[in-house]
């Protein structure tokens, strides 16, 4: 589970092997027991969440959008094209 980014106690990460075939590009976010998953393409969009408020999810979506190039580059470095 490579960690991509840390922000205000949130950990943004990828699972090493998700699904067969692998899922589309996305990032997971965890803080305590609360989790969220955002798709990165074609646009940043919430896939699902557990335990996070709408306000929290809106903030996290902005963080993902602002760091999308870095997260995508890290995805390609880790998983390949």
Query: 54-66 and 68-79 are packed helices; what angle lies between their axes, rounded to 10 degrees?
Result: 70
Domain of 27 in residue numbering reads as 3-79
**Whole-prediction pTM value?**
0.91
Domain count, the chain: 1
Write out the DSSP string of 10-57.
Answer: EEEE--SS-TTTTPSSEEEEEETTEEEEEE-SSS-EEEEEES--HHHH
pLDDT band at 79 (very low <50, low <70, confident <90, very high): confident
Q: How do residues 33-64 score in pLDDT, each as one tens digit?
A: 999 999 999 999 999 999 999 999 999 999 99
Q: Which backbone phi and psi does 60 adopt, to 5 degrees?
A: -65, -40
């Amino acid at each position: 589970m490579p960690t991509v980014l840390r922000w205000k106690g949130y950990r943004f990460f990828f699972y090493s092997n998700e699904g067969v075939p692998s899922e589309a590009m996305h990032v997971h976010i965890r803080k305590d027991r609360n989790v969220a998953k955002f798709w990165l393409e074609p646009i940043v969009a919430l896939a699902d969440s557990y335990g996070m408020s709408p306000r929290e999810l809106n903030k996290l979506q902005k963080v993902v959008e602002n760091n999308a190039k870095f997260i995508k580059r890290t995805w390609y470095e880790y998983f390949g094209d």
